[in-house]
Amino acid sequence: MEPSFGDLGISPKLLEILEKLQFKVPTPIQAQAIPIGMEGKDVIGIAQTGTGKTLAFSLPMLQRIARSKQQGLVVLPTRELAFQVDEELQKIGKSFGLRTALLIGGAPMPKQLRQINMNPHIIIGTPGRINDHLEERKTLNLSRVGVLVLDEADRMLDMGFAPQIRRIMKHVPKQRQTMLFSATMPNEIRRMVNEYMDNPATVEVAQAGTVTDRVDQKMHILEKHQKNQLLEKLLTDYDGSVLVFSRTKYGAKKICRAIRSMGHEAAELHSNLTLPQRRRSMEGFKSGKHRILVATDIASRGIDVNNIELVVNYDLPDNPEDYVHRVGRTGRAGKMGQAISFATPEQKREVNDIEASVQQRIAIAPLPELPPARQGGGHDSYRTEQSNYGNRRRTNFKYARAPRSKQPRRSQSRQRTSSSGYKTRVHV
């Protein structure tokens, strides 16, 4: 018999709110983590995005701070994820006057200061902006934090936030409850657990670093110039929402442009966009206005959409652990999903690293019959690898030429870093 929310130690008032919001049956992570959280114990939750983690930490936090004068603090890796957690908390806490402060980069500072001055019950933010308020502006005091949540902890470490998190920990009381959620458990997180958590209970919905069996994974081996043709074939075959991953923000922009040239509605999500632009992209994807979203790994961590039918790894991730996070965007809320990766013959080592990380073999599928390559705006003009980057930049952009000197001109060269992170020599 499946447990109900009523079996988890949740107060009648919160149960009434959950019923109104149509939360009927707790997910596995909720069923296991909520009772432990309600007791005030430290919790480690190993689960992917989309398994219901937000509710798993929000309900214990709301119930505990309602009974005390303490505050809650939620630290997350990206602005988009912070927005979504704030929205979820507001839905649950609106009826009893919950006040939150959303502290993220790119958002208006006067609004953030206003929210801080209103003595919020819960503070939600990214590490950089929280530290900005703590140490630079001196506008934030965390001495009343009784419940601390570190969400997507592995992603925060991947993004280099470990020093920022350690600075935050100096400002929160040692006597507190800490809940940490992560899809993987690298050594750095284990060190953090030993340093900052008190005898935590571990809740493991899926083995760390693995992919849910609700995701059908396969891989196509192809040449770089065939990627857009295969993508066009997939976008024709799949009618539902599609999330396409690019390794770089420049690549995301080019892929999105190519998809639009195929006649599909698409939005892009990467760090070159302003915060309002990123929100519009997310809202358009969630509402169905844009069936396709092209994203980079960093920006994608805020994507919380349950009905993604297909994830396409247009570029393999730099970090094998990112593969788990990418494919975890589909196969959510009890539904099946598809994850299809593109790899070139030269990327055998990267494929082996991914398979070792997820502890399973990924089926290699034969290439289907591909549509003809598109000219002008197709992938012919786009290369994610370093080999053609310098050439493309030289041929696609016109430089103003100085008057020809009568003296022989000495060849000069300088380094340019390509969108994929490699350095090429560009002669000028």
pLDDT tens, 212-235? 678 899 999 999 999 999 999 999
pLDDT at 178 over 50: yes
DSSP secondary structure of 373-412? PPSSSSGGG---SGGGHHHHHHHHSPPPPPPPPSSPPPP-
User: pLDDT over 70 for what percent of the chain?
Assistant: 83
Which among 31, 290, 2, 45 has a CA at the least distance from the CA of 151? 45
Predicted pLDDT of residue 110 = 95
Predicted pLDDT of residue 192 = 92
User: Quick check: 26 and 8 in contact, CB under 8 A?
Assistant: yes
Q: Is 254 left (phi over 0), alpha (psi -120 to 50) or beta?
A: alpha
Categorize the per-residue pLDDT at 368 as very low, low, confident or very high, splitting at 50, 70 and 90: very high
Query: Among 53-57, 146-150, 272-276, which range has the highest average pLDDT?
Result: 146-150
Q: Within the chain, what is the greatest distance between any pair of CA atoms?
A: 89
3-state secondary structure of 204: strand
pLDDT at 328 over 90: no
Q: Is 140 left (phi over 0), alpha (psi -120 to 50) or beta?
A: beta
Predicted pLDDT of residue 207 = 57
Q: How far is CA 360 from CA 46, 252, 275, 318, in A?
A: 19, 28, 37, 19
Q: Tell me which of 2-16, 351-365, 368-382 is least confident.
A: 368-382
User: Quick check: 370 and 226 in contact, CB under 8 A?
Assistant: yes
Contacts of 243 (CB under 8 A, 6+ apart): 292, 293, 295, 300, 303, 308, 310, 311, 312, 329, 330
Rounded CA-CA distance 201/185 in Å is: 14
pLDDT at 28 over 50: yes
Q: Which residue has the higher pLDDT, 342 or 277?
A: 342
Q: How far is CA 288 from the centre of its chain?
A: 19
Stretch 245-273: mean pLDDT: 92
Q: Which residue has the higher pLDDT, 401 or 159?
A: 159
User: Quick check: 145 and 169 in contact, CB under 8 A?
Assistant: no
Rounded CA-CA distance 353/162 in Å is: 24
Predicted pLDDT of residue 77 = 92
pLDDT tens, 70-127? 999 999 998 888 998 999 999 999 888 999 999 999 889 999 999 999 999 999 999 9
Helix (H) or strand (E) holding 61: helix 53-66
Question: 114 exposed, middle or buried (CB, 10 Å; 0-12, 13-18, 19+)?
Answer: exposed
Categorize the per-residue pLDDT at 395 as very low, low, confident or very high, splitting at 50, 70 and 90: very low
DSSP secondary structure of 249-289? HHHHHHHHHHHHHTT--EEEE-TTS-HHHHHHHHHHHHHTS
Rounded CA-CA distance 276/359 in Å is: 39
Token output for 237: 């075959």
Stretch 16-34: mean pLDDT: 92
Query: Among 156-170, 297-311, 314-328, which range has the highest average pLDDT?
Result: 156-170
E strand intervals along 57-151:
71-75, 100-103, 122-125, 145-150
pLDDT at 380 over 70: no
What sections of 211-365 are H helices per DSSP?
Answer: 227-237, 249-261, 275-287, 297-300, 320-327, 348-358
pLDDT at 376 over 60: no
Rounded CA-CA distance 43/59 in Å is: 13
Stretch 143-147: mean pLDDT: 97
Q: What angle do CA 90, 80, 213 make, to 5 degrees?
A: 95
Helix axes 53-66, 79-93, angle to 10 degrees: 50
pLDDT at 394 over 70: no
Mean pLDDT (the chain) is 84
pLDDT at 208 over 60: no
pTM for the complete prediction?
0.65
Domains of the chain: 5-204 (3.40.50.300), 215-380 (3.40.50.300)
Stretch 12-27: mean pLDDT: 92
User: Quick check: 203 and 36 in contact, CB under 8 A?
Assistant: yes
Q: Which residue has the higher pLDDT, 75 or 328?
A: 75
Predicted pLDDT of residue 209 = 56
DSSP 346: G
Predicted pLDDT of residue 150 = 97
Categorize the per-residue pLDDT at 210 as very low, low, confident or very high, splitting at 50, 70 and 90: low
